[in-house]
Amino acid sequence: IPGQQWVGVQELLMKNGDKTYRKPRKNLSVFSGLVKCGVCGENMRPKIHRPDSDAFSYVCQKKENSKCSLCNNKNIPGEHFDKTMIEFIWKAVEERKGVFDELIKVIDGVMEDHNEQKENEINAFENSLSKNRHAITNLIDKLKYIDAPAISEDILNEVKKLKEKNQQLEKRIDLLSQTKKQTDQYKNTAAMFQTIVSHNLNLLDSLDIQEKREFIRLLIEKIVVNGQDVAIYFLGNSSS
């Protein structure tokens, strides 16, 4: 990205360098969490200019916390940065469309296999859970007909062990279910990505902030900004 595109806005931002920034109330930044300071390596977080404004800038966290004593990297105008980055990334996607199509097919296949494996594990754990519950019911029924305290104690200990096993099984089922749900979300995002790549940038513009973030995170590892220089690191590749 040519440095001269940033000079004007950087000079304007430097005039306002002493102002206090706050996190955007509406979470407007598309690249939040991906922008890194090229001077010190810290995150550059989105901050609004005024409480009554939606305009924001990306500001180095170390610079802000140290009041510029530990980092002097320039602030980045958020809306302009996001728009420019999306256009640049989209151009890169169009140039590599065939590669991305193949990548999506691979991702989709891996996720499908992953989900099938998790589904099988969940079914196995639920089957064990059902058997244990049935065993607990039978053991408790036996207590009605046993007068010997020692045997009753053994049965209660066995019930306790089964309940502890069930607690572990329930935790595993819950964890697997959450993982499967997350994989489903990734699949939906991948499908959305494929649709966008197959059409045009206008479809990307129609997405909300969260959907744009999910799309971008399928492509970008990080964006490093050092003054006028911007380096975009695509996942699995070097910077552009």
Amino acid at 37: C
Q: What is the largest CA-CA distance in the chain?
A: 90
CB 233 within 8 A of CB 239: yes
pLDDT digits (tens, 9 = 90+) for 110-162: 777 777 888 899 999 999 999 999 999 999 888 888 877 888 888 889 999 99
Q: Give the phi and the psi of residue 224 in degrees, each rounded to 5.
A: -105, 125
* Distance between CA atoms of residues 236 and 227, nearest Å: 25
Residue range 227-233: average pLDDT? 88
Check residue 7 and give its pLDDT: 45
CB 193 within 8 A of CB 217: no
pLDDT digits (tens, 9 = 90+) for 157-190: 999 999 999 999 999 999 999 888 877 776 776 6
Mean of the per-residue pLDDT values for the chain?
Answer: 79
pLDDT digits (tens, 9 = 90+) for 32-47: 999 999 999 999 999 9
- From the list 70, 74, 71, 79, the residue with the least C-alpha distance to 48 is 79
